[in-house]
Copies of this chain bind each other. A is one copy, B any other.
Amino acid sequence: MKQLINTSGQIRQQLLAGLTYTYNDKLNWQPETGIVTKKVINEQKVVLISGGGCGHEPAHVGYIGDNMLDCAVMGTIFEPPSSSEILQAIEQTYNGRGTLLIIKNFEKDVTCFLEAERLAKEKGLHISHVIVDDDCSIESGTFEKRRRGVAGTVFVHKILGAAAAEGKTLGELQTLGETLIPLIKTLGVAFSPASPIGMIPQQYTLAEDEMYFGIGIHGEPGYRIEKMQSSERIAIELVNKLTQQYTKSELKNTAVLVNGLGGTPLLELGIFMNDVQQLLEIEDIPVTYKQIGNFLTAYNTNGLSLTLLNLKDDQWLNYLKLPTDAFGWK
């Protein structure tokens, strides 16, 4: 797989330069850092910060905007930013209303973000966090749940972002996040792994007729390799595994996200969405909100993930629907 880059050591720098040049009416970037902020930070609301490694575009820079994030702190490819850079972002965007960190549940990410939170607290800042762990993949040997933070993180950005804009306090947002996150479930499948990039080697290979269920967003292996199947058969696997995570009564008001992993064309995501729709209709699961596209990618992985969210509170649907100027969300 050929790659359109320059030198791998400059990926973060050049990527953030390109994206913030494109959206320089909305975004501020501090060159040489991974810190991108909303052009104008609202002084009257809690500040929302997320981030992680590069390679997940449009996440997380694409979610900075009204009713979403105020700041994204990006590390190098598939590596979280340093705690000192996260602390710098916290301090620079601090407005006295409090700051909420939205963290994807990967060990390195959690370590860096929580260390930054600890340092910020030492400085007397009002700060808290939520950890997103929507991935339903399991370890193939132990059946242990992996609980990584993956595409469902985007639902957290939008719902907490809109709730923050509405004026909720830091404590209220944390409680909302902790109620919301267990109701988000995601499962992914890869047809071809991400190419090696930067310091990140390829962690698995697939034969020409194979696919891998349960892969991660940094090229991590999944739980089962199978022969490549039709879109409908793949939808059956993902829909079944995900709906099993809920009781029947929890699926009365559901949001669906079909997320491309970077190398999958919208044509295929559209066909897959049609199969998902039909399966959910057969199972009498009403869907009130849908999204399709590349939201949280794994560099150039050919594959996709499916996310379900139980919209337990009707207000969450309103939060999802509120418009935003964040470039990654339509």
One of A96-104, A113-121, A262-270 at the interface:
A262-270
- A241 to B265, alpha carbons, bound, how many Å? 28
A30 within 8 A of B: no
Interface residues as binary, A14-54 with B (CB distance below 8 Å gives 1, 0 otherwise): 11111101100000000000000000000000000000001
- A258 to B290, alpha carbons, bound, how many Å? 27
Main secondary structure of the interface of A (DSSP, over half): mixed
> In the complex, what's the smallest C-beta–C-beta distance from A259 to chain B, in angstroms?
13
Report chain B residues within 8 Å CB of A250.
Answer: none
- A230 to B3, alpha carbons, bound, how many Å? 8
- A267 touches which one: B230, B271, B299 (CB < 8 A)? B299
- A77 to B300, alpha carbons, bound, how many Å? 23
Q: Which residue of B lies closest to A206 (CB)?
A: B2
Task: Check A266–B234 contact: CB distance below 8 A.
Answer: no
Task: Check A19–B232 contact: CB distance below 8 A.
Answer: no
Report chain B residues within 8 Å CB of A211.
Answer: 2
Report chain B residues within 8 Å CB of A297.
Answer: 265-267
Report chain B residues within 8 Å CB of A267.
Answer: 11, 15, 54-55, 57, 77, 262, 297, 299-300
In which size bucket is the chain A interface?
35 or more
* Central interface residue in A19, A55, A209, A232, by most chain B CB within 10 Å: A19
A4 within 8 A of B: yes
Q: Which residue of B lies closest to A274 (CB)?
A: B18
Task: Check A275–B6 contact: CB distance below 8 A.
Answer: yes
Report chain B residues within 8 Å CB of A265.
Answer: 57, 262-263, 294, 297, 299-300
Q: Which residue of B lies closest to A276 (CB)?
A: B18
- A271 touches which one: B1, B4, B294, B330 (CB < 8 A)? B4
Known contacts A263-B263, A263-B265, A264-B4; decide if A271 and B18 are in contact (CB<8 Å).
yes
**27 A-B interface contacts by CB (under 8 A):** A1-B192, A2-B208, A4-B191, A5-B230, A5-B271, A6-B230, A6-B275, A7-B230, A11-B271, A14-B231, A15-B271, A17-B277, A18-B270, A18-B274, A18-B275, A18-B277, A18-B292, A19-B273, A21-B277, A22-B292, A58-B266, A262-B266, A262-B267, A263-B265, A265-B300, A268-B300, A327-B330
Ranked nearest first, the 4 interchain pairs of A and B with the lowest CB-CB distance are A18-B274, A18-B273, A57-B266, A18-B270
